[in-house]
Amino acid sequence: MKYKNLLFDLDGTLTDSSEGIIKSALYTFDKMQLTPPEESSLYTFIGPPLGDSFLKHGVEEKDKDRAVAIYRERYTKIGKFENAPYPGMIDLLKKLKSEDFKLYVATSKLEPIAVEVLEHFNMTEYFDEIAGATADGSREKKEDVIKYLLDKIGENETDTVMVGDTNFDVLGAAELGIPCIAVTWGFGNPDEMKKAGAAAIVSSMDELYDAVNK
């Protein structure tokens, strides 16, 4: 077995959270009386820090914090549960756990919300630790979350792999010398993740299982 510690991204990797994120982003643009981007562009809200996404789509720097606050008005009450585990994911986690892999979550989502989402779907039992972003923005980039998690569990990059669906996962892990297995069922571009240095690109739960065992 090549890897011991498996670090999973949440949105786009463990669960399909697109409905809640997109509706909450549209709610924000409406409340701020701003023209929203095309719906296809709203998928870019999944993965990076929220404030960065609003800046990318026309919100001014001075209004960034207000946009994030409005987004969270809806997301923390409704949007977080407009969500579902990907088919076969829970069975895969159960299998990996039974084979003594150490499973963790490293997400740019606020940590309390990540825990709440995973609890809602009865998924917390599979993970030894769940690490996410902080509300004050002091920990929001993927590399910061991964470093925080590794420090907390007393592990380093040895025998560790990130599993994610965007360049933020691939590049964030690389900052700490960790390979990343990229999944294609999420919201990233497989070609871009390959160019960014993904150790493997997988398109099914069986392929992911094989990749962590190589």
Q: Indicate which residues carry an active-site annotation.
A: 9
Q: Is 133 within 8 Å of 111 (Cβ atoms)?
A: yes
Tokens coding 74 = 């809806």
DSSP secondary structure code for residue 99 in this structure: T
CA–CA–CA angle 133, 81, 90 (5° rounding): 85
Q: How far apart are the first and last CA of the chain?
A: 6
Instruction: Give SS3 for 128.
Output: coil
Q: Which two tokens stand for residue 94?
A: 């159960």
